Amino acid sequence: MRKPRVFVAGPVSWNRLVFVNRLPEARPHTVFASGHRTAVGGTSAGKALNLASLGADVTLRTVVGDDDAGQAVLDVLERAGVEVIAEVAAGATEQHLNLMDPHGGRVSIYLELPELRAAAHAARTAQALAAADAAVIDLAEHSRPLLAAARTAGVPVWCDLHDYDGVADFHRDFLDAADHVFLNDDAFKDGHDVAESAVLAFLKSLDKPAVATLGAAGALGVADGAVHRVPAVPIEEIVDTNGAGDAFFSGFLVAHLAGADMPAAMAAGAEQAARCLASPDLAPAV
């Protein structure tokens, strides 16, 4: 049986993760970390690594700087079997400082953001895109032109809108081009409560298959007018929440490409998210 072929375009980063007992308040004070480490990050790296761990044949087109951080990111991806088309940009590789609390809370501070002025691997990118069963086009200016390229090539477009609030202009091109839409519920939260009815109403308004992840409450999906729900898979200990949303997306996509319906694909996504949460990395070890 042929492996599913997935093209991913979007950001990668090299991150410093700093673990704190609770996220700091917005006032001048001193905080002591319980630990820290560096690791690969970025939503497209998370998806590529999870897709590869699930047996997909993955090509990732991304942007890095000509620096040690960029090489560190590429080394991780290539060791995982991801084919990388790396455009080298002016400036440093994208880097974040992530403050993490024990409950999955995170504050991500962008330290560096590369700027791609001209793509050097357009032909190779077009070839990989045309050969894919699905095109995952993540939120980034340098991936935005590939929305139209995927549509022209006739490859189904999958977009993860993250914390889209239904209004922000930045996401509009991705939403309009997508055949399948994912997002999380962050923009629909009122304090610590989620207005699930608002999430569901938004999913129904899209008139295309759409899924919203709800953290510990699982996920909601809408397809062909039908509403589907899946609970989060219980795990003994959450090790690291980084990459859990990308893991859910990847588990769903691989199951979908294998012929699963919406409920089965959502269940596969929840399983992969649980494996990711129990792992210290963006994707669980195979």
Instruction: Return the number of other C-beta atoms located less than 10 Å from residue 182's C-beta.
Output: 26
Torsion angle (degrees, nearest 10) of CA 28, 32, 35, 36: 30
Cα dihedral sign for 89, 182, 171, 38? negative
What is the average pLDDT score of the chain?
93
Query: For residue 193, what pLDDT is reported?
Result: 55
For range 188-200, the mean pLDDT: 73
Residues 15-36, mean pLDDT to the nearest whole number = 94
282 sits in which H/E element: none
DSSP letter at 237 equals -
pLDDT of residue 286: 64
| pTM confidence score | 0.93
List phi, psi (to 5°) of 223: -150, 130
